[in-house]
Amino acid sequence: MASQGIIFDIKKYAIHDGPGIRTTIFFKGCPMDCWWCHNPESQEKELKPFINLLKTSSVNNCDNDGEPIGRIVSVKETMKEIKKDLVFYEESEGGVSFSGGEPLMQKDFLNELLICCKKNGLHTTLDTAGCVSKEIILQIAPNVDLFLYDLKLIDDKKHQKYTGISNKEILENLLLLSDLKYNIVIRIPVIPTINDSLVDIADFGKFIQKLNIIRIDLLPYHTIGEEKYKRLKKVNRMKEIIPPSKERIEEIKKQLESFDLNVSIEV
């Protein structure tokens, strides 16, 4: 068991990462390289510097001027931070959420935290893309009250192109969790020109309609993470992509609802 892990943020009073008021722990490291990732600082597990553009000089470029992204934390100190807001969890029927990055990349640290949360009577939510082995999913699942399952694309070739990995394991794990009747909300990031065509949405509908899920949450693409790519000196592959209109998101919602699915739009 791992008594320590690497995180890059703790968000208090979160209201979009599960029911009620929550504390969200953001884990470092992700096996995917999604073109549209709005937390590119989460992708590498290593504590690499985050360039401070405000301090960067046009004369010397100050390439090494930055502080490491993330920090090593213990289960004990993380739980201490979580417990500070017990009253808010109780009043709002909230709890603790684990996001990233991909939390399952640090499975032992994650599982220790999940077990501690359950011992303290806290509702647990895991935001994951499910890109791990079936064995890891089965190890973690009993201590998760709600899965926020990120589904990017159904077409495997497109998934490999835009995320860097196959979705075979992802879809298999989603089917497994559904068969075992865990609580699942599927999250679909709506990315113009990548996964928002009529065919793509129909693929989502056909696959998801055979699952036992609570609902689908549509997450419209946004450009909030643009500045992070500059600070990380990473190439932004989404420069020319315009966020979807409200009208287009509503059309996608209606198309998915035609498969007898419960669909909401996250704002």
CB 261 within 8 A of CB 216: yes
Query: Cα–Cα distance between 51 and 233 in angstroms, integer?
Result: 8
Query: Cα–Cα distance between 203 and 157 in angstroms, integer?
Result: 13
pLDDT reported for residue 142: 97
Name the CA radius of gyration of the chain, rounded. Answer: 19
Q: Which domains does the chain have, with CATH numbers?
A: 4-186+223-236 (3.20.20.70)
Query: Cα–Cα distance between 179 and 105 in angstroms, integer?
Result: 23
pLDDT reported for residue 2: 64
Return the biggest CA–CA distance within the chain.
59
pLDDT reported for residue 65: 53
Query: Cα–Cα distance between 236 and 225 in angstroms, integer?
Result: 9
Q: What are the start-end ranges of the H helices in 43-131? A: 75-83, 86-92, 107-119
Instruction: Provide the terminal-to-terminal Cα distance of the chain, rounded to the nearest Å.
Output: 38
Distance of CA 168 to the CA centre of its chain: 18
CB 130 within 8 A of CB 137: yes
Measured over the CA atoms of residue 196, residue 200, residue 205 and residue 210, the dihedral's sign is: negative
CB 212 within 8 A of CB 259: no
Q: Along the 267 residues of the chain, how does pLDDT read in single tens digits?
A: 568 999 999 999 999 999 999 999 999 999 999 999 888 887 776 666 555 443 433 333 334 456 677 899 999 999 999 999 999 999 999 999 999 999 999 999 999 999 999 999 999 999 999 999 999 999 999 999 999 999 999 999 999 999 999 999 999 999 999 999 999 999 999 999 999 999 999 999 999 999 999 999 999 998 877 778 778 788 888 888 999 999 999 999 999 999 999 999 997
Contacts (Cβ under 8 Å, ≥6 apart) of 59: none
CB 255 within 8 A of CB 202: yes
